[in-house]
Structure 1
Amino acid sequence: MSNKAYLVTARKYRPLLFKDVVAQEHVTETLKNAIRLDRLAHAYMFTGPRGVGKTTAARIVAKAINCTTPIEDRDDRAEPCRTCVSCQSFEEGRNMNIIEIDAASNNKVEDVRDLRETVRIPPQANRMKVYIIDEVHMLSNAAFNALLKTLEEPPPHAMFIFATTEPHKVLPTIQSRCQRFDFRRIATSESVERLREICDTEDISVDDESLMLIARKGDGALRDALSVFDQAVSLCGNDIKYPELIRALGVVDTDLYFNVTQAVTDGESAEMILIVDRVVRTGYDLQEFVDGLAEHLRNLLVASTVKDPTLIEATEADRKRIVDHGKTFSESTLLSLITIMGDVSESLRLSRQPRLKLEMALLRMATLPSSVDIKSALDKLSKLEKMAASGEIKIVSEVRQVSSPTSEQAAVRPTPKITPAPAAAVSPPAPAPQAAPVPAPAPVPQAAPAPAPSATPPKPAPAPAAAPEENDPEENDTAPLDTAETTISDSSDVPVHSAPVPQPSPSTPPPSPDPGISLFMEPPAIKKPRSRNEPTNQTSTAEEVLVLDKDEDPLSEPDALSLVKPAWDAIVHEVMASEKQLGSFLKHATVHDFGERTVLLSVPDDFHAKALRSERARLIRQLTEATDLGIDRIAFKIEAPSVDPSDLSDTESSAREQLEDLCEKNPAVRALVERFGGEIVW
């Protein structure tokens, strides 16, 4: 064995010049300028995390101040020469004019009084007497107060340099008497570069993954990274390999984090349990695993949102792998996963069953449903509203058709006398004298006896124009009633007489778009009308739209309507008390009309109509019991509030503000949030 004492790497390669200090150029350049201009303060305070060079910089400042080499002959006109007697005596530890004091062990008021006595003595063979007080925040309040006067008016030959990791514990009266320099954490890439230089000097072979792991273990402190480097050299020798290093240091393998996120993508709950079992059996610290997984999710979030992959602290191979893997997740999903990790990280330390906590968190991640990009949907919705307000797009309202009655209804109820309406039927005043005469519609034949039990209703005669196409049977309950056209429900049991309607001329403007359609649903598909000469399909099950006589209003029963409306309000009040979710839909539905044993409800949009459709049987029963009226059916009329184009702002609000406003005003969204415990995260 060599008789020479071994020095750890952190001490052996401790910077001796300003240019050797890593990642603190904002501090070293200022101090060098102060030395060049001879504008040195009598007190400095260096603050920052541990292991970033605070005490090292203080020692270099003290050495540069007392260097006897002229400024003009020094490197960069500020660096200490390291060849004069003063510099050599300091590096050898025998300079009496640079005093280092550990405030953690000399924190009493008596220690400060002794310092006040010695500070009066001028330096010997040097320009300044420099006091470096490390961990100055450990001094007691009495010691700080004893130091105040000396610090405010020190002797001209004295300088104080304080170093601390917790500046908030230093009295404000002390801080106000010092020039403060904040040292920053050292980036992983800068630590890797410094470690590579040391490996080249020491002739040590190491791969990039190992250097990245060592630098990340330092957590922004180069001194800590050098300590881990010494441990790695002791374990692996002069040839450091990543697989051996992670086993020796007990570091969680990066592949394990990718296995977790892959299990989230596949929804594999069983894989999550196996991963936790592997972590426990291998002996990994659960808290370290959670912290590493949270950092991995953060890297995926950066990869999916930022175009610059250099923000990810990883090797080139791992960075490319993270970027490729991050494409499989949306931002909202990653935010939810990071939130889960944040919750379990806080509770894991205090839990008596940390393994169970971790398993439950990973299972929540595996069963997390894929999030919808609400911001993108809201942006598209806002654009549609603006286009509709400016007239760039036309909103087409769907014309409702009356479905044919069942065979039983056809056998019992009398056959209504109907007249097919033209394709573009309107109700204008009497035709002008110059208009061409309209041919009278063909009479409707009487219904023939049904040869089978499933008798079909009588078919009307062909109309001069093509009839509307068949509607979706699932949508026959929701009928927007146009002001120019009136439709009746399929449950009508009163004969209806139709009046002849004049056919519009080619110059007649088309009906105006229905302003009540909701932009929250997709616009109905525009169906191409049949040509005038195209024959009507006689086997189609679609019925013609019935046009009422001008003087008839079979849906109008004022006496019955006066009974239905208060009964409906009572039902809504009763349901609100017991079923808030259903009540929130009923609250926005009002009785519009009653007739032909049908209650017509007015709802704000198609979403409410579809939600209430499943409760029709229950509502019919309750209305029948409350009014003693024969109610067979409930229909819906969409009446959305009109949008004033002047109220639309040109500037788009943020997605979070839109969501909060939607959650506050829309009862359906509010019910979903309350039911499932949701929260707005974007």
Structure 2
Amino acid sequence: MEKFIVSARKYRPQAFDTVVGQEHITTTLRNAIKTGHLAHAFLFCGPRGVGKTTCARIFAKTINCQNQTAEGEACDTCSSCTSFNEGTSMNIHELDAASNNSVDDIRALVEQVRFAPQAGTYKVYIIDEVHMLSQAAFNAFLKTLEEPPSYAKFILATTEKHKILPTILSRCQIFDFKRITLQDTVDHLAGIAKKEDVRAEETGLQLIAQKSEGCMRDALSILDKIVSFTNGEVTYNNTLEHLNILDADYYFRLVDSMLEQDLAGALLLFDDINKKGFEGDSVLNGFAEFLRNLLICKDARVAGLLEVVESFRKRYADTAQKVDTGYLVSALNLLNEAEIGYRSARNKRLHVELALIKLCYLRQALQLTATGDTVDKKKVVEEARSLNFRALKGMTPEKTGKPAAAPVPRPSQEAKLVIETAPVPEAPGHPKPAPQPVAAPKPQAAAVAAAPPPPASKGRLSLDAIRQKVSADLMTNVVTDLPLDIERLQAGWKSFIEVLKEEKNPAWSSFDMAQLEVKDEASFEAIVTNNINQKFLLAERNKACSYLQQHLQNRLLQFFIVLNETETPIDLSDMPLTARDQFLKMAEQYPLVKELKDRLRLELDY
């Protein structure tokens, strides 16, 4: 049985023209080889699996080739190329900086650089994952990297360029590798599938390329797994099953349910998805990516950012025309918040279902109005309804034997006054309606209005009587504020201090030491002598003000905190003496002690 080799190694490019998706790099390197303008150090940086180490090996092989082609490629037939292909070349050294990142490893590398190549023209040192080197290793490598021997070439490869010291970057020619595009990945996978006699559908290969996110090594690994899983056949359905990807058809059906506000259909669809084994966070993330693709389809200028299976492009474009831009933006925001809170949710399924419920009724909650080039978002509320007034008991008409007259469409004068004076609450989300202009009264009506009001009938309450009654009630409920005086203020202040003591609040001592000074009938000052007391009073100021307003029956009462630091020097006579002061005092009383210290040349540690 032939030994199996993974596709990533079996089909690794051996020449510059076989490198996929990095034409800007390979063209530059081939031209440099043809003209002989070779730098002594190169830095290859970019995402994983895009060909950094592969290009470094091809470059090392080509510059040592004895029969280079006119295009700047290796011949693959000379002894140098043969030894390189067999892995026995002594001119190429690879170092994995992830596991050899100490100063000693770099010093050993520097020692090898001193020896010239026995065969060939150049000795090439490929240092992979160079960002893993320690700070000391980088510093030990600086001098050699700046002025190496003429036969030494260094190629550094990394996925994290920002972690490399600027002093290293300035000594290298930097080549930035880009992610491999979706179409380049599909074409390369199709070529390999043809060589391996694998039946592969283009939609399945597109799905693999989309999952690999521009990494060719990942795409080849996924292809190997699916070929083993399906026994040599790559289709759209078995690729979905193997990669555990939810079919986009579910998302299309989910959007249709939400646009129709079919909550039952959306919940049943999520239940079907849940039974297939997909977690809620993957559903939220996939649906957010789907809505992002719909948003991209709204503008033809960004159509190139849409990376989906080719057969779904038209369906994406048709669905995007049915959905408003504002709805997509609001839905993406809602899904983002739901995905952030998914991890902390105790009931994961309910958390996802709540997000679906909000999305189903999102169009009803938001009304999108386009104004020029922008989109305004407004909440939709019910139509403004007339306010129901409670009928007054005294204003009901008397019961008479005559039939009730037909209601007059024009309201009476009294009804007009009641409606105009009553405050109408403003509906949320609606501007306040403009007052309707009142038509000027006719001369006859004016004459009637100028006449004195008739006496109130037995069953009817006059408007003047209502006004007089309301005015009397207001007069009886008026609360007068008592003016502030020092005696009542000090009593209320002490009462508040007792409240603080009962609460075991340490601020009571600061309130007790404060001096009070009345400024006017509604304000006073609390004077403190240090910052600590000031901070305690500031912390309890609102509470004290509310208490004193109620206790002193003055709603306008307020007080100000004044810091008046005293300039009296602090008495330090009671403080204990330091060791130095004790010795000086002893030497002053007993001079022989100081003489003994001087004769013995003692150094005292105070």
| Length-normalised TM-score, structure 2 | 0.63
Alpha-carbon separation, structure 1, partners of 2:142 and 2:46? 23
Contact 2:50–2:177 under 8 Å retained in 1: yes
Query: Do structure 1's residue 327 and structure 2's residue 325 form an aligned pair?
Result: no
Deviation at 1:176, TM superposition (A): 1.6
Aligned-pair CA distance for 1:258: 1.5
Please state if 1:282 is matched with 2:280: no
Are the counterparts in 2 of residues 35 and 65 from structure 1 also a CA contact under 8 Å?
Answer: yes
Unmatched runs of 5 consecutive residues or more in structure 1:
382-449, 457-472, 477-489, 494-559, 561-566, 597-620, 629-682
Cα distance in 1 between the residues matched to 2:83 and 2:209: 34
Question: Which position in structure 1 is the counterpart of 2:584?
Answer: none
Q: 1:624 to 1:333 in 2, by over 3 A?
A: farther
**Any idea what SS the aligned residue of 1:454 has?**
coil
What are the Cα deviations for residues 535-567 of structure 1, in whole angstroms up to 9, with x where unaligned? Answer: xxxxxxxxxxxxxxxxxxxxxxxxx9xxxxxx9
1:474-489 matches, cutoff 5 A:
none
Distance in 2, matches of 1:255 and 1:328, equals 16
Change (3 A) 1:161 1:627: farther
Contact 1:260 1:272 in 2 (8 A): yes
Deviations 1:592-622 (A, max 9, x none): 99997xxxxxxxxxxxxxxxxxxxxxxxx99
Cross-structure match for 2:371:
376
**Structure (1/2) with the larger helix percentage:** 2
Q: How much has 1:375 moved relative to structure 2?
A: 3.6
Between 305-314 and 284-293, the greater mean CA deviation after superposition: 305-314
Amino acid at match of 2:247: D
2:405 matched residue in structure 1: 453
- In 2, distance between residues paired with 1:380 and 1:285? 34
* Aligned-residue offset at 1:268: 1.9
1:33-91 deviation line (CA, Å, top 9, x unaligned): 22222211111111111111111111111111111115xxx152x11221221111111
Alignment match of 2:196 (pick from 188, 191, 202): 202
Q: Distance in 1 between matches of 2:89 and 2:76?
A: 13
2:330: which partner in 1? 336
Q: Equivalent residue for 2:42?
A: 44
8 Å Cα contact 2:209/2:219 also seen in 1? yes
| Counterpart pick for 2:165 among 148, 163, 171 | 171
Moved more, 279-288 or 358-367: 279-288
- Computed over aligned residues only, the root mean square deviation of the Cα atoms, in angstroms, reads 3.9
Q: Distance in 2 between matches of 1:191 and 1:48?
A: 17
Give the paired residue count. Answer: 425
Name the structure 1 match of 2:133. Answer: 139
User: Equivalents in 2 of 1:623, 1:149: separation in Å?
Assistant: 101
2:312 corresponds to: 318
In the alignment, is the contact (CA less than 8 A) between 1:279 and 1:286 conserved in 2?
Answer: no
What corresponds to 2:33 in structure 1? 35
Contact conserved, 1:207 with 1:241, CA < 8 A, in 2? yes
Contact 1:45–1:161 (8 Å) recurs in 2: yes
Structure 1 Cα separation of the partners of residues 302 and 136 of structure 2 = 52
Given that residues 34 and 70 in structure 2 are in contact (C-alpha distance below 8 angstroms), is that contact kept between their aligned partners in structure 1?
Answer: no
Q: 2:207·2:309 contact (CA, 8 Å) conserved in 1?
A: no
Q: Output the CA distance in 2 between the equivalents of 1:592 and 1:168.
A: 71
Assess if the C-alpha contact under 8 Å between 1:299 and 1:322 holds in 2: yes
Q: Which residue of 2 aligns with 1:240?
A: 234
Gaps of 5+ in 2: 377-401, 442-465, 474-606
Correspondence for 1:83 among 69, 77, 80: 77
The alignment partner of 2:75 has SS state of coil
Aligned to 1:660: none
Return closer, same or farther for 1:181/1:624 CA change in 2, 3 Å cut-off. Answer: farther
1:228: how far off?
0.3
State whether structure 2 residue 317 is matched by structure 1 residue 365.
no
Contact 2:203 2:310 in 1 (8 A): no
The answer to whether residue 293 in structure 2 is matched with residue 295 in structure 1 is no
Partner of 2:252: 258
Contact kept, 8 Å, 1:34 with 1:40, in 2: the verdict is yes
Contact between 1:100 and 1:131, CA under 8 Å: does it hold in 2? yes
Cα distance in 2 between the residues matched to 1:148 and 1:37: 28
Asked whether the equivalents of residues 212 and 219 of structure 2 are also in contact (C-alpha less than 8 Å), the reply is yes
Aligned-partner residue type, residue 178 of structure 2: R
**Structure 2: how far apart are the matches of 1:43 and 1:298?**
42
Match for residue 16 of structure 1 among 8, 14, 17? 14
> Match of 2:341, SS?
helix
The change in CA–CA distance for 1:237 and 1:454 in structure 2 (over 3 A counts) is same
Q: Does 1:113 align with 2:102?
A: no
Match of 1:67 among 65, 68, 71: 65
**TM-score of the superposed pair, with normalisation by structure 1:** 0.56
Aligned ranges for residues 344-363 of structure 1 at < 5 Å? 344-363=338-357
Task: Assess if the C-alpha contact under 8 Å between 1:99 and 1:132 holds in 2.
Answer: yes
Match of 1:94, SS?
Answer: coil
Q: Tell me which amino acid in the other structure corresponds to 1:19.
A: D
Q: Give the AA of the match of 1:134.
A: D
Q: Does 1:129 align with 2:127?
A: no
> In the TM superposition, what is the alpha-carbon distance from 1:7 to its structure 2 partner?
0.8
List per-residue Cα deviations over 1:558-598 (Å, max 9, x = no partner): xx9xxxxxx99xx99xx9xxx89789967x989999997xx
| 1:213 matches 2:204 | no
CA drift of 1:222 comes to 0.8
* Cα deviation, residue 373, structure 1: 4.3
1:242-276, Cα deviation, whole Å (9 max, x unpaired): 22332233221222221221221121222332233
Q: Equivalent residue of 1:122, what SS?
A: coil
SS of 1:95's equivalent in the other structure is coil
Q: Distance in 1 between matches of 2:299 and 2:350?
A: 33
Q: 1:123 to 1:380 in 2, by over 3 A?
A: closer
**Which one of the candidate residues 54, 57, 69 is aligned to 1:56?**
54
The residue that corresponds to 2:186 in the other structure is 192
Q: Provide the rounded CA distance (Å) in 2 between the counterparts of 1:380 and 1:136.
A: 49
**Partner of 1:641 in structure 2?**
none
Q: Higher relative contact order at CA 8 Å, sep ≥6: structure 1 or structure 2?
A: 1
Asked if structure 2 preserves the Cα contact closer than 8 Å seen for 1:309 and 1:323, the reply is: no
Q: Structure 1 residue 195: deviation in Å?
A: 0.6
Query: How far apart, in 2, do the equivalents of 1:231 and 1:144 lie?
Result: 40
- Indicate conservation of the 8 Å contact 1:304/1:329, yes or no: no
TM-aligned CA deviation for residue 240 of structure 1: 2.3
Question: Structure 2 vs 1, CA of residues 219 and 351 (structure 1 numbering), >3 Å: closer, same or farther?
Answer: farther
Q: What percent of counterpart residues are identical?
A: 43
Superimposed CA distance per residue, residues 274-298 of structure 1 (whole angstroms, 9 cap, x where no aligned partner): 2332233211244333332222112
Paired with 1:244 and 1:379, the residues of 2 have a C-alpha distance of 44
> Secondary structure of 1:369's match?
helix
Deviating more after overlay: 50-59 vs 242-251: 242-251
Distance 1:583 1:43 in 2: 66
SS at match of 2:156: strand
CA–CA separation in structure 2 for the residues paired with 1:594 and 1:265? 48
Aligned to 1:642: none
User: In 2, Cα distance between the equivalents of 1:136 and 1:236?
Assistant: 39
Match of 1:36, SS state, is: helix
Q: Which runs of 4+ in 1 moved over 4 A?
A: 307-311, 349-352, 370-373, 377-381, 490-493, 579-586, 588-596, 621-628
